[in-house]
Structure 1
Amino acid sequence: MNPFEIIGHQDVLDTLRGQTSHAFMLLGPHRVGRKAVAHYIAALANCAYGTACGTCPSCLAIARGTHTDVMEVGPKSETSSGKQARRKIIPVKVITGRRDEQNEYDQHVVEWLHIAPYTRRKVVIFDGAEHFNAEAANAMLKTLEEPPHRAMFVFIAEDQQRVLPTIVSRCARIFVPPVREAEMQQALLQLEGNLDPELLEFAAGRPGVLFEREAVRSALQQAREMVQALENGMLDALQASEKLEKSFNPEWHPEALLFAFRHHPLSVRAKADQALSEALDALEQYANPGLVFQVLALKWREALGLH
């Protein structure tokens, strides 16, 4: 496996090698490998041989996340008080230091870009372009149109409809699709020497799942236990909801829980999805987690026709 941990996507890589744009938008499902492709773009810009060879010092530094000319920016997931943010955004204060009155960020995109690169080109990767607010996007526009030192920009998003048009219109758009099943199987064999049909089904062509497979397997196991407890009875359901609340991983549990309902009728899955969405919204509003998961268990039993 290459140092950028790219599984599949050979067509995408071939397309990128022929591109001359200074701004890209990588579109596709979450965990399909868009960030790995973004690292490949940064490597193409700075590789000692101009090929993203994967072996020169520049490529290896990019793969390790230590390259001095590559900056990654994502939405802020916590408030200044340490609580989980109710709404993820990329704020203007990370774009320009002049708006960072409380010095929350060590680096600011605009100021960082005006420092000459140590290698060939500076590259900024925005992971979650749909989380730009209008103020941050406007602060980026002049820099995006007239990049200092030939800087490059890579915007990662799931749906371009959720990205501000002023950003989209200035980018070469590249769709990063799910990876073919045969390539996923081969990658899993390389990673651990055996196939796991349930893991591959859950991954659905998203290589990022394979790199976090232990956390995924744990979430899938707990999701199965939760659904079984719902069917066993009210007491088991409430006890399972308490256990789930204590171990809940927002990165994996929501999807794993819905995956556990996949063999149920569509009407049941729709109600389960709606109940989970309401629970996640309540958690974002800092509702009591224990109560949220108890209500979720009750709504799921109702979705299953159990009372």
Structure 2
Amino acid sequence: MTQQTKSLHRPSQRSNKAIMKKLLGHDIAVSAFLDRFNSGRFPHAWLFEGPVGVGKAHAARMLASVVLGGDYQLGEGSLTVNDEDEIAHKIATGAHPDFRQVQRVPDNNGKIPQSISVDVIRDMNGFFELRAAQGGYRVAIVDSVDELNANSANALLKTLEEPPEKCLLMFIHHGSASLLPTIRSRCVKLNFSRLKDADLRACLGDDDINEELLILCEGSPGRLREMAALDGGVEMLRDLKAAMVDWPGISAHRMPSVMAKISKTELHLELASSFLAKKFSDMAQSESSGRARSLYASYWSRLYNVRTKARRLNLDLAEQSSQLLGLVRDLSNEMRATA
């Protein structure tokens, strides 16, 4: 799709100096949605599919603002919504009477459940049975349908199969769990891809982003924000690289310091895991030996399994970091043995 500017502007309801919120890198999906909305032949159910953190939920909230009458512009490959527009502000704060954000809610003990409960979906169905407070659409975002259980997924079908007039459902789907065919078949699908480096930089408003973080975030602006804000994250990566600079040899005296930095927080551990997974993958591709490539592939898989098992067993960060660096030492030994 060409980057042609479209004049789709509604006057702001507030100050002309309002800060504008932008959605970058998803112009094809957004244009498809708005074209149908402005055509008058507007489907009631949409499925926003793509990797975690690329901006699906952000896009859904911005488009909800548009549907409910908010101030917006579409042009130069980006959707812009007025951050001080009254409608957008109410959606952002959960105060709009014709909007619902449907997601997991804490129980009486403050614990977040593993799935969206059937009661939450029934509450959403009840919301759609009411008359719109402002006479237009009623809009709900389900974030995410990956987190529905069997009962809540089936309850969702009630509104999906028999939608009232001017009902809009937007489903966020990360792809981590399968979706009922009966849900998928009733939705218009929009694909949200990983963002390019230029759009990632623009999302953060910073051209001086560490190149390694741009690679490791895998096109996710949400993940890049987390990585860029991580205290000591770039320093940790630098030390981890230094410890492996003579690969397959590793620097034994650097490892205690590296482990202390990796085990600082869950995000430090996640960043180190991403770095090592990328390192194993890159080294496998550069190897001419089939035996070496198989070893790297095996350890890449073991790295993933260690993280999955650690989360399931709720291991502390020091134990997880020890297991992570243990894999690096074991792979180093095996690679030197095959040299």
Q: TM-score, normalised by structure 2?
A: 0.70
| Aligned residue in 1 for 2:222 | 208
1:79-102 Cα offsets, whole Å, 9 max, x none, are 8766786xx322223223xxxxxx
**Structure 1: which amino acid aligns with 2:30?**
L
- Are residues 248 and 63 of structure 1, via their aligned partners in 2, closer, same or farther at CA, if it must alter by over 3 Å? same
CA RMSD, Structure 1 to Structure 2 (Å): 3.6
Does structure 1 retain, via aligned residues, the 8 Å contact 2:213–2:228?
no
| Aligned residue in 2 for 1:91 | 117
Deviation, structure 1 residue 34: 0.9
Greater relative contact order, per chain length (Cα 8 Å cut-off, separation 6+): 1
Deviation, structure 1 residue 140: 1.2
Moved more, 114-123 or 162-171: 114-123
| Aligned residue in 2 for 1:15 | 32
Equivalent residues in 2 for 1:10-49, closer than 5 Å:
10-19=27-36, 20-47=42-69
- Are residues 70 and 142 of structure 1, via their aligned partners in 2, closer, same or farther at CA, if it must alter by over 3 Å? same
Residue 181 (structure 2) aligned to one of 152, 165, 177: 165
Matched, 1:54 2:81: yes
**Structure 2: which amino acid aligns with 1:37?**
A
Residue 277 (structure 2) aligned to one of 230, 235, 258: 258
- For 1:232, what is the secondary structure of its paired residue? coil
- The share of aligned pairs that are identical, in percent, is 23
Alpha-carbon distance in 2 for matches of 1:141, 1:259: 40
Moved more, 172-181 or 156-165: 156-165
- For 1:300, what is the secondary structure of its paired residue? helix
How many residues get paired? 290
Does structure 2 retain, via aligned residues, the 8 Å contact 1:122–1:151?
yes
- Are residues 288 and 213 of structure 1, via their aligned partners in 2, closer, same or farther at CA, if it must alter by over 3 Å? closer
1:247-275 Cα offsets, whole Å, 9 max, x none, are 22289534345345564335436514422
1:119-159 Cα offsets, whole Å, 9 max, x none, are 32222111221221111111111122223463211111123
Q: TM-score, normalised by structure 1?
A: 0.77
The gaps in structure 1 that reach 5 residues or longer are 97-107
- Are residues 290 and 192 of structure 1, via their aligned partners in 2, closer, same or farther at CA, if it must alter by over 3 Å? closer
The gaps in structure 2 that reach 5 residues or longer are 1-17, 37-41, 74-78, 245-249, 286-292
| Aligned residue in 2 for 1:222 | 236
Deviation, structure 1 residue 232: 1.4
Deviation, structure 1 residue 17: 1.0
Does structure 2 retain, via aligned residues, the 8 Å contact 1:128–1:155?
yes
| Aligned residue in 2 for 1:277 | 305
